[in-house]
Amino acid sequence: MTPTAVIAIHGGAGTILRSALNAEAEAQYHAALSGILEAGQSILASGGSALDAVTEAVRLLEDCPLFNAGHGAVFTAAGTHELDASVMDGATLEAGAVCCVTRVKNPVLAARRVLEKSEHVLFTGAGAEAFAAAQGLEFVDPLYFHTETRHRQWLNARGMQGTMLDHDAASMEAKAEGPNEPIDPDKKFGTVGAVALDAHGHVAAATSTGGITNKQPGRVGDAPLIGAGCYANDATCAVSTTGTGEMFMRMLAAYDVSARMEYRGATLEQAATEVVMERLPRIEGRGGLIAVDAKGNVTLPFNTEGMYRGFARVGEAPVTAIYG
C-alpha cells in the first residue's frame, strides 16, 4: 500500500531571541508556514507530483518576505542580491540548479526549467539569467528583492565588521529596536526548502536562498549544489538543508543522509540525526534539514535553538514549529 502523500518545508534555522519575544511575529511565521504547506498539500491531494509540490512550496517561500529567498533575500557586501536554487526528482535522479542570479523573480522556477529543458544541471550568473530569459521566466528589477528588515541587518553587519557573516554578527538590531523575528536575524541561517512524497511513491526536494548577509559577491553556498543542500532518490529519501553552507558542502550533508540509508540500512530518522547531530558538529556545522522517505516517514532535525519548519500529510492539518 502506498503511504499517504506528505510535504515538509523549512524556512531557516538559528538562535532563538530569548528576551521579549514578539508573539505577533511568531504568529505571522506560523501562518505563513501553514499556508504554504496547505498549497503543497493541495497539489499532492489532487494526485500531483512531489516535484510539482516542492517547486510550488519553495516558490511561495521565495515570494514571502519573512524568509531569506527571493523577495526578502539578504544583501551581499556590495549591497546587491545574488540568489541560488536547486530541485531534484527522486524518480529519475534528474536535477536542475541556478546560482548568483540577480533578476529572476523565482530562482526555483529557473532551477526547475534547467531540470526539464537542459542537458546541464547547474547554470551560474549571466548564463543562468540568459537561460531563464530564453525559457520565458519572469524577471524583476533588483529592488524587488529589497526589504527594510534585510537592509537594516546588512547595515548592522557592515557596522560590526566588513566581512562578517549574518549568523556571526551580534544582534544589534534586536537590542536597539526589539526583536521582530522569533529567531535572531543576525544568528540565522537563511535558506528555504521543501521535500515531498506523492501518491505515486515518488519523492522530490527543492532548496532556495539569498545566501548569507554581507557575503562576498560570487559566493555560492550549499543550496544550489546537488548532494550538499538538496538531494532526492526514490530508493532512499528526499532532503533539503539549511545552515552554515560551507560545512554542509564539505560534508555533502544531503547525500550523506541518503547514503547512510542505502549502504548501511539506517532508517531515515537515524541517518538524518547522525548527519545533523554528530557529523556536522565535528566541523562546527550548524543548522538542520528536512527529509522524507518513500515510506512516508518525515524527520526535521536541527542542532541550533530553532528552525522554521512544518509538515502536512494529505487529509491532516498542517503542523508547524519554530523552537526545539
Question: Where along the chain do its domains lie?
Answer: 6-323
Helix (H, G, I), strand (E, B) or coil at 120: coil
Q: What pLDDT does residue 161 have?
A: 55
Q: What pLDDT does residue 156 have?
A: 84
Which residues make Cβ contacts (< 8 Å) with residue 77, sequence separation at least 6?
158, 162, 163, 214, 215, 216, 217
Q: Report residue 62 as a C-alpha cell.
A: 521565495
Q: What pLDDT does residue 193 have?
A: 98
Look-up of cell digits 501553514: 34
pTM of the model: 0.93
CA-to-CA distance for 11 and 25, rounded, in angstroms?
14
Q: How many CA atoms lie within 13 A of 84 on its CB side?
A: 27
CA-to-CA distance for 324 and 322, rounded, in angstroms?
7
Residues in the chain where the model's pLDDT stays below 50:
20, 162-178
Q: What pLDDT does residue 261 have?
A: 98
Q: Which residue in 82, 81, 85 sits closest to 115, CA to CA? A: 85
Which DSSP category does 275 fall into?
Answer: I
CATH architecture type of domain 6-323: 4-Layer Sandwich (3.60)
Q: What is the largest CA-CA distance in the chain?
A: 57
Which DSSP category does 306 fall into?
Answer: E
Q: Report residue 322 as a C-alpha cell.
A: 519554530
β-pair type (6-16, 287-293): unpaired
Q: What pLDDT does residue 158 have?
A: 82
CA-to-CA distance for 285 and 93, rounded, in angstroms?
27
The catalytic residues are 191
Binding residues for substrate are: 219-222, 242-245
Q: Report residue 263 as a C-alpha cell.
A: 549502504
Binding residues are: 219-222, 242-245
